[in-house]
């Protein structure tokens, strides 16, 4: 983004360190001249003069005009390298669209229709909000984890993330220029932000896995589907020792299948070992294990089993397509509640005309004058 100074945007401010060069040239040109010592008939008198205070100092010469021209050219060259740009006329505004990417947002807005609540919310957003965005406005999208600066909705976000996300902290983004994009409106209505809720009817479907069975919500009650649990895989790579035996028991108890092949949509956990640095790194759907943690060693077996059971359960993600009952419950009609527009910044808008070319040309001219017009 650069650095703003003197009404200009400097894209490479580190180049200002080059201003030390013309300063050093001036200091060198101002060094006092020391007279050359020549022996004469009164050698003892001259020696006493040299040994007296100030006797050895020469005069400080005047800086030649050619040196001034040279330093001026070097200074302009450094400023050109710093990349100065002026600002175009206008103002800037920043919109922040906060997107709810929790599982319920990707359910059908009206079963058996295939349009998701997110898609319907985007259509409502384009209809009601897009006309409020001016040319030159900055639009940022935030899903609680990732930022994307783009005029259009990020296409990868149209697909549900494999690891379930939570709804954003809405109250944190209750400010002018913020837009809440969600399926179900938050309990607390925004005071300054805009609200765009898609609404939606009940979306029956799977909500949980119980052993080999699947629990579905029919719209009014839970239904157990015997043997309907989907295939769920735990991919284990380069893990040995006592831990791999425990992982087999842990997976068997939860109805999970151990694999070591290529990734698939059925994976609910990736466990990789062989980390030389040691320690355990955990995130949603993945677990990295150090070599020293693979063996039981002198640890208590019960403590070892409890520790790793908690770690594996925490890192394991649900099967694809599951959504809690609260997400599948009916929401109601769509809602568009306009809030305050973002504050305008009278800073001249985006960077405009570049000046480094003219400064570089003028720098070359001054250096040429110093070298040709003032020969020594």
Binned at pLDDT 50, 70 and 90, residue 278 comes out as: very low
Orientation of helix 356-368 relative to helix 65-81, angle to 10° = 160
Contact 78, 19 (CB under 8 A): yes
Stretch 34-49: mean pLDDT = 59
Report whether 187 contacts 169 (CB < 8 A): no
pLDDT tens string 205-232? 999 998 889 999 998 899 999 999 899 9
Residues forming beta bridges with residue 184, ordered by sequence position: none
Beta bridge partners of 337: 195
Structure confidence by residue, pLDDT tens digits, 226-273:
999 899 999 988 887 778 888 899 998 888 998 887 888 888 888 887
Distance (Å, rounded) from C-alpha 345 to C-alpha 91? 5
Domain ranges of the chain: 3-89+352-373, 94-205+324-337, 231-315
Per-residue pLDDT for 93 more than 50? yes
pLDDT given at position 26: 79
The label of the residue with tokens 């900055």 reads: 138
For the question of whether the overall pTM of this predicted structure is more than 0.75, the answer is no
Of 202 and 39, more confident: 202
Q: Return the percentage of the chain with pLDDT > 70, whole number.
A: 80
Instruction: Give me the half-sphere count of Cα atoms (radius 13 Å) on the Cβ side of residue 76.
Output: 17
Which residues fall within 8 angstroms of residue 152, CB to CB, at 6 or more apart? none
Q: What is the pLDDT of residues 308-335, one digit of tens each?
A: 888 888 889 988 889 999 899 999 899 9
Give the pLDDT score at 220: 85
Lowest mean pLDDT among 27-36, 160-169, 243-252: 27-36
Reported as a pLDDT band with limits 50, 70 and 90, residue 277 is very low
Query: How many whole angstroms separate alpha carbon 41 and alpha carbon 169?
Result: 94
Given a contact cutoff of 8 angstroms between Cβ atoms, the answer to whether 373 and 114 are in contact is no
Cis ω before 77 (30° cut-off from 0): no
Compute the mean pLDDT over every residue in the chain, rounded to the nearest whole number.
82
Inter-residue contact 179 to 125 (CB < 8 Å): yes
Determine which of 31-35, 107-111, 200-204, 319-323 has the lowest per-residue pLDDT on average. 31-35
Q: What is the pLDDT of residues 107-161, one digit of tens each?
A: 998 866 678 999 999 999 999 999 999 888 899 999 999 999 999 999 999 999 9
Checking if the pLDDT of 90 tops 70, the result is no
Rounded Cα distance between 148 and 135, Å, is 18
């Amino acid at each position: 983004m650069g650095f703003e100074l003197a009404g200009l945007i400097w894209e490479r401010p580190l180049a200002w360190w080059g201003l030390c060069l013309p300063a050093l040239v001036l200091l060198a040109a101002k060094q006092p001249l020391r007279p050359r010592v020549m022996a004469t008939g009164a050698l003892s008198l001259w020696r006493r003069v040299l040994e007296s205070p100030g006797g050895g100092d020469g005069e400080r010469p005047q800086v030649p005009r050619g040196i001034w021209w040279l330093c001026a050219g070097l200074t302009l060259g450094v400023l050109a390298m710093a990349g100065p740009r002026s600002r175009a006329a206008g103002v800037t505004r920043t919109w922040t669209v906060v997107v709810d990417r929790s599982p319920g947002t990707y359910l059908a807005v009206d079963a058996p229709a295939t349009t998701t609540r997110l898609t319907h919310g985007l259509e409502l957003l384009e209809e009601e909000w897009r006309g409020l965005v001016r040319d030159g406005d900055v639009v940022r999208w935030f899903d609680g984890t990732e930022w994307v600066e783009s005029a259009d909705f990020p296409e990868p976000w149209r697909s549900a993330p494999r690891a379930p996300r939570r709804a954003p902290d809405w109250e944190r983004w209750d400010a002018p220029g913020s837009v809440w994009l969600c399926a179900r409106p938050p309990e607390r209505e925004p005071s300054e932000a805009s609200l765009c809720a898609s609404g939606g009817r009940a979306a029956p479907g799977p909500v949980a896995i119980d052993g080999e069975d699947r629990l579905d919500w029919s719209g009014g009650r839970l239904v157990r589907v015997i043997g309907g649990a989907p295939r769920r895989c735990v991919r284990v790579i380069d893990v040995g020792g006592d831990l791999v035996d425990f992982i087999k028991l842990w997976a068997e108890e939860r109805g999970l299948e151990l694999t070591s092949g290529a990734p698939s949509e059925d994976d609910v956990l990736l466990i990789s070992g062989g980390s030389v640095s040691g320690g355990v790194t955990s995130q949603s759907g993945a677990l990295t294990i150090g070599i020293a943690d693979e063996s039981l060693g002198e640890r208590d077996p019960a403590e070892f089993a409890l520790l790793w059971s908690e770690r594996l359960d925490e890192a394991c993600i649900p099967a694809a397509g599951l959504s809690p009952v609260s997400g599948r419950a009916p929401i109601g009609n769509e809602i568009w509640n306009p809030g305050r527009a973002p504050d305008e910044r009278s800073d001249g808008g985006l960077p405009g005309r570049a000046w480094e070319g003219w400064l570089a040309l003028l720098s070359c001219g001054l250096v040429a004058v110093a070298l040709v017009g003032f020969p020594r």
